[in-house]
Structure 1
Amino acid sequence: MAAALALFAVVAFGTAARAEPVPGMRGVNHIGLTVPDMGQAVTFFSDVLGCEKAMSFGPFRDDKGTFMQDMLNVDPRAVIEEITLLRCGFGSNIELFSYTSPDQQTIYPKNSDIGGYHIAIYVEDIDKAAEYLRANGVRTLGGPLPVTEGPAAGQTILYFFAPWGLQMEAISFPQGMAYEKEGGPVLWSNTDPAK
């Protein structure tokens, strides 16, 4: 099947080529999330998940011009009440936004919705992580579920929710995943990049 798709791509689009990366790209710096209650979100990410608050700043607004629309593609009268950045272990940082806006909507997409998303945190022992989340009143779905076949064999996953409905995932693959035996980029390293 993969060979047929590769052949289709060559026939349909000419030669198969790898796109040039963004000059100087080094990795994902942060994931930005708009939250309904900044205090609740900071408490969840720091006290429950173990992220560390780095800084907070704001507000930002433009009461007469179009700065907010031009820079962020939001309503010109939108206000960023506060931005808080959190450091989360060895992975990407989390940037929390508290907005007010005349056209603000409350939408909680499912993974199956276009634009749906979740944030996955790597844990060393997923069974202990599941017990901990449940003991702290965090809503979890079925699992932990070990993946035993295919290129992702070796990982175990558990989906859970932040208090305001953000879907998240705990994932662990301490022995690696099956695809790694054939090469390709390693998706997680427990190496502290600060050292």
Structure 2
Amino acid sequence: MATIGINHLGLTVRDLDQTTSFFSECLGWEVLARDDSYPRSTVSDGTCRLTLWQADKTQAITDFDRKTNIGLHHLALEVASKDELLAMAETVRIWPGVKMEFEPEPLSGGPRQHMMFSEPGGIRLEIIWPAS
């Protein structure tokens, strides 16, 4: 028996509205579902599907630290061209609440390129152009 891929990735976020808006308005993903009773939303780029879960705001929220927490280090998303990577960097860098880690740069000597940032809810994202 073998698995055939990821059905979805569930991420807990600081502010469900803010992160859902980032994926849908900044990255152009489709909002597939919303359940305010849970609360959660599901977004997709047509290939990848994420379920975003609202952190419990009645308790202390702890930011993720990729060096000390077990679990997600970052989520890497792929673009089809270098031009798309550069255009996405232009949009992402000015989005309110985004923290750029680094702008597009060669990956392992190139020609591949990537950038890293945290979206407003704190999820660390990599956008990569594989140059293939």
SS in 1 for 2:93: helix
Correspondence for 2:103: 143
> RMSD of the alignment, in Å?
2.3
Structure 1 position 109, deviation (Å) = 1.2
- Match 2:31 to one of 45, 53, 58: 53
DSSP 3-state at the match of 1:27: coil
State how far apart, in whole Å, the 2-side matches of 1:136 and 1:100 are: 25
Residue of structure 1 in register with 2:46 after alignment: 89
1:1-195 mapped onto 2 (5 Å cutoff): 23-57=1-35, 59=37, 81-90=38-47, 92-100=48-56, 105-110=61-66, 112-115=67-70, 116-123=72-79, 124=81, 125-137=84-96, 138-149=98-109, 153-174=110-131, 176=132
Distance 1:127 1:103 in 2: 38
1:55-94 superposed Cα distances (whole Å, 9 cap, x missing partner): 12263xxxxxxxxxxxxxxxxxxxxx3121111232x200
- Counterpart residue type for residue 118 of structure 1: H
Q: Which runs of 5 or more structure 1 residues have no equivalent in the other structure? A: 1-22, 60-80, 177-195
Give aligned pairs, total: 127
Alpha-carbon separation, structure 1, partners of 2:125 and 2:7:
18
Q: Structure 2: give runs of 5+ residues left out of the alignment.
A: none
- Structure with bigger strand share is 2
Question: Which structure exhibits the higher relative contact order, with contacts defined as CA atoms closer than 8 Å and separated by 6 or more residues?
Answer: 2
- How far apart in 2 are the matches of 1:130 and 1:36? 23
Normalized per residue, the structure richer in helix is 1
Give the CA deviation at 1:100: 2.8
Give the TM-score normalised by the residue count of structure 2: 0.80
Percent of aligned pairs with the same residue?
25
Structure 1 residue 148, shift from structure 2 partner = 4.8
CA contact (8 A) 1:52 1:88 kept: yes
TM-score scaled by structure 1? 0.56
Q: Note the C-alpha offset of 1:30.
A: 1.0
Compared CA separation, residues 100 and 129, structure 1 to 2 (3 A) = closer
